[in-house]
Structure 1
Amino acid sequence: MQINLSNTEANIINNIALAAQELNLPVYLIGGFVRDKILGRPTKDADIVCLGDGIALAHAVAEKFNPTPYVAFFKNFGTAQIKIPLQNDSYFEVEFVGARKESYTQNSRKPQVTSGSLADDQLRRDFTINAMGISLNKADFGTLIDPFNGINDLKNKIIQTPLDPIQTFSDDPLRMMRAIRFATQLNFSIAPATFAAIQQDAHRISIVSQERITDELNKILLASKPSIGFDLLSKSGLLSIIFPQMMALHGAENIDGKGHKDNFYHTLQVIDNIAQTTNDLWLRWAAVLHDIGKPATKRFEPGQGFTFHGHEVVGAKMVPKIFAQLKLPMNEKMKFVKKMVELHLRPISLTKENISDSAIRRLLFDAGDDIDALMLLCNADITSKNKQKVKRYMQNFELVKERMKAVEEKDHIRNWQPPLSGEDIMRIFGISPGRQVGIIKDAIKEAILDGIIPNTYEAAYQFMLQKAASLNLQPV
């Protein structure tokens, strides 16, 4: 089969074919590389199956390159990997394995592995589109070996399994997440029987490690339209197991003619909106979690309708627990997402009132270096079926941005450092660390943010003297 290869890819594949020929090992390209080449998608790795010793083949292939790449191999699994350097300081990864067949036990996704034929190896693959192989053997080099008609599923944009899907998902429940991830990344549909099997076997996801589940979630979230995946996770029953807090956003309610929108589908729209403007995984997570506190804060107030007062504060408090639950990093990434959730209403609220410089200064101060990310999130959060309403919000939002720019140019609050440090205050008044230092520092900060004094050393110094006098402090 003709597929378009770069010069680098062609050189790598020819070297694999030559090494296999020298070892008298039948060898095949298989899986994602074949799929992506047929689809015209970029590739950065390839899987090689041989009828024999995959580790020996990896070493033989490595010897074809100068410098010789390191061979990482795992004898117990019969697999090996080499990373071939490319010109742009990246690598092309090639993984080698001997053809095998697998059998599973009920409570583990780790199979018992024995040697097998190419047909056995293709049969153990998760989806028909990932089971296609291309021969690298001299007699039939380039021939597509496609026992499950994966090429037809590629053309029809269908995800389905080579075996009965119940067996495929029961053997390795992570494949349910992978089906949804591929459907999201490729914008494919999942075959009805395959999706029904996911719904039936969703409970089996509990035997999969959280790290593997979260890895698939992150890949879904990094797709160009993540809502496809989250909607499928919801409809499959998986989301209620792996991320119940997000599932709780579902549902619209109406009382006495007053209702609220479905916060789950609103969140999906926000995620898709943010995906159009940034590839930052953590800003996308902020979009996922921005309204996560709404179910806990939902109230119906007669005459007013449904309210979600304080959902940004409640949501921010939920972020660390959710990150820990999903085994996402508990570092500055989590703190960034928490900050975005806590602040996400602030810029939008400024569009609903006369904007004071003080309010702008406080937003710039609280957001700091993350103000641009916050504004992207707030832009994404403007969703409505009423196009005029969206247009009006967007116009008001642009006014806020202009005011923010003007205030920042004048007051330099974005990366604000106090004109007078705590050390300065202690030195000037000859006092030790304590409550008085904190009172003076906070008073200076509040005075600058409120516009009482300009953000300069001299103004801060004079204000400090006044505040210190009220505390019975005099310069030494």
Structure 2
Amino acid sequence: MPTLNRAQTNAMKELLRIAPVIDELGRVFDEAGHEIFLVGGSVRDALLGSLGADLDFTTSALPDETEALLKRFTPTTWAIGKEYGTIGAIRRSEGVEWQIEVTTFRADVYRDDSRKPEVAFGDSIDGDLVRRDFTVNAMAINVATKAFVDPYGGLDDLADGILRTPSTPEISFSDDPLRMLRAARFASRLGFTVAPEVVAAMADMADRIDIVSVERIQAELTGLLLTDEPREGLDLLVRTGLAERFLPELPALKLEIDEHAHHKDVYEHSLTVLDQAIALEKARGHEPDIVNRLAALLHDIGKPATRRFEGSKVTFHHHDVVGAKLITKRLKALSYPTHVVKSVAKLTDLHLRFHGYSDGAWSDAAVRRYVRDAGGELERLHILTRADCTTRNRQRATRLRRAYEELEWRIDELASQEELAALRPHLDGTQIMEVLGIKPGREVGEAYAFLLEHRTEHGPVPEDEAVLLLRDWWAARNA
């Protein structure tokens, strides 16, 4: 966290950097008799020295006036958010494309029976700021005068690394319950501590999140998972009971440990797998990936339903299959895109596959089958399987790591010899029908499956040999 002096120095540098844009914008609104302020996350990020090209403003002008004024400032504007008081614009200056949003002073609230906020416009900057989620997001800078506006102590909280609400947490979370999830996201993104009274209100008001649309909840969950260190935010959601309202499978991983400690803490294991998957994502040169992260967090959600005590052992037979079904149901309920749902479910279904081979040699057929079944999720499966090793036994951890390195090496070796990434049978459907003299139907699918399995087990063969194999199979099938 920056000291107050460092924050002020950061802000000065950032304001000088964006001056060519905001100075003119300030003049346009000031000459029309309106106030306009750089606000919220833009001020916070300026104080942290990390302001990007997206700038948020708030103004005394109503939306129609804002739109007209912005058109004097730049030819590129849009009014998609106009009903909520927001007008957007793009301004290109000195090689930078500035994304600008200007919103009329707001005073929105949720009603008890509504899943959407009721839009209301305010009449002062202080009234707008008190309606914001946290004090570190409730600071503003008057664009015309450069006066710093901080009525709720956001600068001190930024320096102390604390998340507090401008009004009481109860009022803030009643106005917009989604702010409880934002507390978790900002705790992870900024590395801040959530004030005790805020945590207490989150626990007391957890059921209030039920009135928020599932799409907004999913967006916050995704934002949290895509931070560099989501563990603290996720644990906050579990501790306060919020996760129970929209992702009950996560707190359900807190299985009661039996007196003999026959299995590891599945909840803590899952958070550790997520940590390790993020580290691998970075190490392997990938951008933050919501599929990777959902799979890492939820790959074991089938364990509570499959836990059995067998003598002195605890088993979770088929938790991969059960987990894939649970994930499909939950992620659909959270309105995740179909491709995300399918990918996460597939990774969960496959996450134990490696362990069936880790103690033995990988045959060419086993490698081909592993690649074939993973399909387009192979790289993600590499990350999940490696991340899933959380044992504290160094010898076992080293053995598993080396075994997986051997597998990846074998995949690369075979891929250089065969078209492993696009594993297909020796003949396609058209060729199968020509060889057997049949029309499209179930028999073509059976023949295709036979040839694909042969290709997986034995590798590629010349086309004439494939034709003989197919005819022999067809004869035996119809004998």
Length-normalised TM-score, structure 2? 0.90
Instruction: Please name the residue that 1:110 is paired with.
Output: 117
Separation in 1, partners of 2:108, 2:448: 67
Instruction: Please name the residue that 1:205 is paired with.
Output: 209
Instruction: Please name the residue that 2:219 is paired with.
Output: 215
Q: 1:139-193 CA distances to partner (integer Å, 9 max, x unpaired)? A: xx22211111111111111000011111111221111011111111111110011
Unaligned runs of 5+ in 1: none
Separation in 1, partners of 2:40, 2:59: 13
Post-superposition shift, 1:94?
2.0
Separation in 2, partners of 1:263, 1:354: 29
Instruction: Please name the residue that 2:470 is paired with.
Output: 464
Post-superposition shift, 1:121?
1.4
The one-letter code of the counterpart of 2:273 is V
Is contact 1:15–1:61 with CA below 8 Å preserved after alignment? no
Cα RMSD after superposing both structures: 2.4
Separation in 2, partners of 1:101, 1:470: 77
Equivalences for 1:118-267 in 2 at 5 Å? 118-137=125-144, 141-254=145-258, 257-267=260-270
Separation in 2, partners of 1:152, 1:325: 40
The one-letter code of the counterpart of 2:444 is V
Is contact 2:185–2:230 with CA below 8 Å preserved after alignment? no
Post-superposition shift, 1:301?
0.9
Separation in 2, partners of 1:359, 1:264: 32
Instruction: Please name the residue that 1:340 is paired with.
Output: 347
Aligned counterpart in structure 2 of residue 356 of structure 1, from 345, 363, 384: 363
The one-letter code of the counterpart of 1:415 is A
Instruction: Please name the residue that 2:375 is paired with.
Output: 368
Q: 1:364-407 CA distances to partner (integer Å, 9 max, x unpaired)? A: 11112321221111111111233333222111211121222223
Separation in 2, partners of 1:157, 1:11: 31
Is contact 1:184–1:223 with CA below 8 Å preserved after alignment? yes
Distance 1:38 1:421, change over 3 A: same
Post-superposition shift, 1:318?
2.0
Distance 1:317 1:86, change over 3 A: farther
Separation in 1, partners of 2:110, 2:404: 56
Q: Is 1:23 matched with 2:32? A: yes
Is contact 1:252–1:259 with CA below 8 Å preserved after alignment? no
Separation in 2, partners of 1:39, 1:194: 23
Instruction: Please name the residue that 2:432 is paired with.
Output: 425
- Between 1:409-418 and 1:244-253, the stretch displaced more is 409-418
Instruction: Please name the residue that 1:321 is paired with.
Output: 329
Distance 1:62 1:385, change over 3 A: farther
Distance 1:344 1:19, change over 3 A: same
Is contact 1:348–1:378 with CA below 8 Å preserved after alignment? no
Post-superposition shift, 1:85?
4.7
Is contact 1:55–1:97 with CA below 8 Å preserved after alignment? no
Separation in 1, partners of 2:303, 2:113: 37
Post-superposition shift, 1:232?
0.7
Q: Is 1:92 matched with 2:98? A: yes
Q: 1:292-314 CA distances to partner (integer Å, 9 max, x unpaired)? A: 211111111114x1111111111
Post-superposition shift, 1:252?
4.4
Instruction: Please name the residue that 2:303 is paired with.
Output: 294
- Between 1:462-471 and 1:179-188, the stretch displaced more is 462-471
Distance 1:87 1:300, change over 3 A: farther
Unaligned runs of 5+ in 2: 1-7
Aligned counterpart in structure 1 of residue 47 of structure 2, from 11, 30, 38: 38
The one-letter code of the counterpart of 2:268 is Y
Separation in 1, partners of 2:81, 2:441: 59
Separation in 2, partners of 1:315, 1:321: 10
Aligned counterpart in structure 2 of residue 306 of structure 1, from 314, 328, 331: 314
Distance 1:364 1:102, change over 3 A: closer
Instruction: Please name the residue that 2:4 is paired with.
Output: none
Separation in 1, partners of 2:131, 2:85: 16
